[in-house]
Amino acid sequence: MMLVNHPVLCNYYVTYRCNASCSFCDIWEKPSPYISLENAIENFEALKKLGVKVIDFTGGEPLLHREIDLLLAEAKKRKFITTLTTNALLYKKWAKKIRGKVDMLHFSIDSANKEKHNESRKVNCFDQLMEAIQIAKSLGERPDLLFTVFEHNTDELIDIYNLCQKNKLLFIINPAFEYNEVDVGASFSEDTFNLLKKWSKKKGVYLNTAFLHLRKNGGNDIRKPVCKAASSTIVISPKNELVVPCYHLGEKSFPIKNDLVALYKSNEVQEIAKLEGKLEACQSCTINCYMEPSFSVNLNKYWFHSLGSTLKYNYIKGTWKNFF
């Protein structure tokens, strides 16, 4: 049963460019423009009309955008909840300008060990990450450390957790997901599932347990789709295009042409949107950035699995206040 009949999240790709080359991501390989402030403002107005509550400023590396502070300011002016994930290489440059404009600020981390983290990112960024944590704290910001967990790197959990506890930061554990030709290694073993379930209960940790249940059940089933990517989420590309039904498995991109509301509601877009979770490529999908909003809008077993984790995060961060 659908609880919400309108999109709640916008994944706004401000650019696909990135200053790191993570092995578990292929977005940085794409040539890309940057979104314009003018187009973004028009789209923010449209997103408000469509009922969107949260804008995720994503990429690529969003802090590469030369007007990211203005984009965030315009979003906050319209009462959107904002989220941004960064490798922190450029955070020192932007820290004061984006202060107070990001409700959910995430710093990506792959290891509490400098050499391992830098090797994973294919760029020397560990020192900048550690500095970014201290800068953010000095400005009264409350960033989270976001760790993508694979079968092969669960040994990193305890050291990153201790780093978070030391700095009074929330630790987000993000289970890796497969897509396109990106190699994420072996699937989670039963021991890893059990380990991650234990971690989800720890103080200062956010791990949406619905992700774990979905993986144990084999991911999205095209015969009875869990995914509500197109109805819960709007994806906008750096070329100012609407991408449907989702970014990773997008079937088609439509130029927005100054009227996102009309485009989103058009028959052509809605016909593709109806295929959410039903395409051949959707079988066994576990892509977190679309499953999480899907869990929130559809009353099913995953909604109940997700509820406790979601309430925990929003209580800690105080973002629940933005919904009233």
Does the residue 232 lie in any domain? yes
Distances in whole angstroms, Cα of residue 191 to Cα of each of 124, 195, 216:
33, 6, 12
Residues 6+ apart with CB under 8 A from 185: 150, 151, 152, 176
Cβ contact 220:228 at 8 Å: no
Query: Each residue of 142-187: pLDDT tens digit?
Result: 999 999 999 999 999 999 999 999 999 999 999 987 655 545 556 8
Tell me if 3 is assigned to some domain: no
Q: Is 4 inside any structural domain?
A: no
Q: Decide if 35 is inside a domain.
A: yes
- Sheet of 252-255: strand order equals 205-206, 170-175, 144-149, 104-108, 81-86, 54-58, 9-13, 233-236, 241-244, 252-255
In a domain, 53, yes or no: yes
pLDDT tens string 247-305: 877 668 999 999 999 999 999 999 999 999 999 989 988 889 889 999 999 999 999 99
Which residues have C-beta within 8 Å of that of residue 90, sequence separation ≥ 6?
Answer: 19, 61, 63, 64
Q: Are 20 and 123 in contact (CB under 8 A)?
A: yes
Is 113 within a domain? Answer: yes
Question: Can you say whether the dihedral through the CA atoms of 215, 177, 58, 16 is positive or negative?
Answer: negative
Helix or strand holding residue 323 (H, E): none
- Is residue 1 domain-resident? no
In-domain check, residue 30: yes
H helix or E strand, kind and range, residue 157: helix 157-167
Q: Which helix (H) or strand (E) holds 38?
A: helix 37-50
Query: What CATH number has the domain bearing residue 257?
Result: 3.20.20.70
Containing structural domain, residue 218: 9-323
Q: Phi/psi zone of residue 88: left (φ > 0), alpha (ψ -120 to 50 degrees), beta?
A: left
**How many domains in the chain?**
1
pLDDT tens digits, residue range 104-145? Answer: 999 999 999 999 999 988 899 999 999 999 999 999 999 999
